[in-house]
Amino acid sequence: MPAPFWRMREDIATARRLDPAARSSAEVFLTYAGIHAVWGHRVAHRLWSAKLYLAARCYAQGVRFFTGIEIHPGATIGRRLFIDHGMGVVIGETAEVGDDVIMYHGVTLGGTSSRHEKRHPTIGDHVMIGAGAKILGAVTIGDNCAVGANAVVVVDAPADSVLTGIPARPRPKTAPIDLDFFTDPAIYI
C-alpha cells in the first residue's frame, strides 16, 4: 500500500482510538474535519516545499473554507495529530507539531513577531492542548505536556508539565501522562 494511504489509515485509527464518539472508520473518513484538515495540510505542505507558495496558500485556504481549521502550508506537522471538533484551530507558518498530539477546538499556535524568523511554537510529542488554548511565540512545549483549556502560554515548558492560567505557568505533573491515552480506547469508559 502506498505511503499516503497508510498514513490515512493511521489517522483514521488514531481518531477511532481517541474519540469515543467515532463509531466507524467510514464515519471518521467522511465527517471528521480535523482529519480532512491534516490531509489537506499534507498536500499544501508538499506544494510549499516545492516552492509553489501561491498554489500552496490557495489550496490551504480552500481546506480552511471547508473545515474551519487553518494550518499554514509552511507548518511542520508530525504523525497522528488529532484535532477534535477543530473549528477555529489556527496553526502558524513556523509552528512545529510533534507526533501523537491531540488538540481541541479554538487552539491557536500563533506568532508574536512580524519578522521573517521562527515565530510560532514548537510542540513536543504526546501533548494534549485543551479547547481555546493559545500558545504564542517561538516557545517550546516539551514532550508529555498538557495545556489546559483557555490557557495563554508565552513561556517554554519542560517535558512532563501542566500549563494552566493566563498567563500559563508550567508546573510538574503529579503523574506522567498515561500513554494509554493515545492507544487504549478503554481510557474513555
**Cβ count within 10 A of residue 5:** 9
In angstroms, the Cα distances linking 41 to 36, 65, 141, 164, 188 are: 8, 13, 22, 29, 29
CA distance 72 to 28: 23
Q: What is the pTM of this model?
A: 0.85
3-state SS assignment for residue 172: strand
3-state SS assignment for residue 71: strand
List, for residues 80-115, the tens digit of each pLDDT value. Answer: 999 998 899 999 999 999 999 999 999 999 988 888
Cell 502560554 appears where?
153
Helix or strand holding residue 161 (H, E): strand 161-165
CA distance 23 to 2: 26
Q: What spatial distance separates the first Cα and last Cα of the chain, rounded to whole Å?
A: 34
- Rg of the chain over Cα atoms, rounded to whole angstroms, equals 16
CATH number at residue 125: 2.160.10.10
* Residue 180 burial by Cβ neighbours in a 10 Å radius (0-12, 13-18, 19+): exposed
List, for residues 148-188, the tens digit of each pLDDT value. Answer: 999 999 999 999 999 999 998 888 877 555 545 444 444 33
In angstroms, the Cα distances linking 11 to 21, 34, 37, 78, 120 are: 15, 10, 11, 11, 24
* pLDDT, averaged across the chain: 89
List, for residues 10-65, the tens digit of each pLDDT value. Answer: 999 999 998 888 899 999 999 999 999 999 999 999 999 999 999 999 999 999 99
Higher pLDDT, 1 or 158: 158
Eight-state DSSP code of residue 101: -
Domains contained in the chain, number? 1
CA distance 165 to 95: 22
Domain extent for 152: 3-188
CA distance 109 to 103: 11
